[in-house]
Amino acid sequence: MNNILNFDIQNHKPLREMVYEELKMQILTGAIVPGTRMMEVELANQIGVSRTPVREAIRKLEKEGLVIIEPRKGAYASQISTKDMVEILEVRQNMEGLAAYFAASRMQPSQLEDLKNISAKYNTAVSEGNMEDMIQYDTRFHRIIVESCNNKILVQMIEQLQELVLRFRYIYYDDFKRAENMPEEHRIILEAIESGDANAAREAADIHINRLKELVISENVQPKHIE
C-alpha cells in the first residue's frame, strides 16, 4: 500500500504533526467514519509511519473532541449528534449574520468580484452534482464574507467553528441533497451585500443558516460513510 503522507524534503513539519493533520482531515471529511475504532497498527501501516506519531496524534485529537478514548476499549472517532449540529448552527447563525451585516458596508470591490465568481462556481457544482466542489465553494463563499467584515475578533471566533462545520457539511450534503436550495439563498445574500443593505444582508444570512438548522432537526440526520 502506498503511503498517504507525502514526505517531501521541503516539508519541515515534524512527523507527528503531519500524521496528526492527516488523521484530523480524514475525520473531518468522513473518510474515517464517526464511531470507527482508531487502531494504531492499522493506521500506522496505512500512513506509512511507526505507531508512536499515530499514538501522539490520537491523544491530540482527543483533546479537540474528534476522538474518544475509552479505558480498556481503545480510541474511536467521535460521533456527531443532531444536538451537536444544532448548537454549532445556533452560534454560526448569529456570527455569520453579523459578518454579513458588516460586509454590506465594508466589502471591497475585489472581494465582491471574488464572491460573485465563487457563487457561480458553486452553482455549476450543484448542477453537476459534484459534492467535493459544492463543499469547497460553499465554504469559500462564506469565508469571503467573513474576511471582508474587517473585524478580527469576529473572524477569529468564526474560524473556530470552521472545522466543526466542515465535518458535518460532508454529512448534510450527502443526506439531504440540501444543495438544491442553496444557490438561491446565496444569491439573496450576495445581492443584499452588493446593494449595501446591511439589514437585508444580515436577515438573508440568518434565514440561510436557520433553514439548515431546521432541516437538521426535522431530518434528525445521522452520520454515514462518505464515498
Alpha carbon separation from 93 to 14, 139, 176, 210, 212 (Å, rounded) = 37, 15, 19, 7, 10
- Taking only the tens of pLDDT, the chain with its 227 residues reads 445 555 554 456 788 899 999 999 899 888 898 899 999 999 999 999 999 999 999 999 999 889 999 988 899 999 888 888 889 889 999 999 999 999 999 999 999 999 999 999 999 998 888 888 988 999 899 999 999 999 999 998 888 787 777 777 776 666 556 667 889 999 999 999 999 999 999 999 999 999 888 888 887 655 544 33
Helices 198-219 and 152-176, interaxial angle, to 10°? Answer: 40
Tell which residue, 139, 116, 126, has the closest CA to residue 193: 116
Q: Nearest 5°: phi and psi at 133?
A: -70, -35
Cell of 146: 467573513
Which pLDDT score is estimated for 20? 94
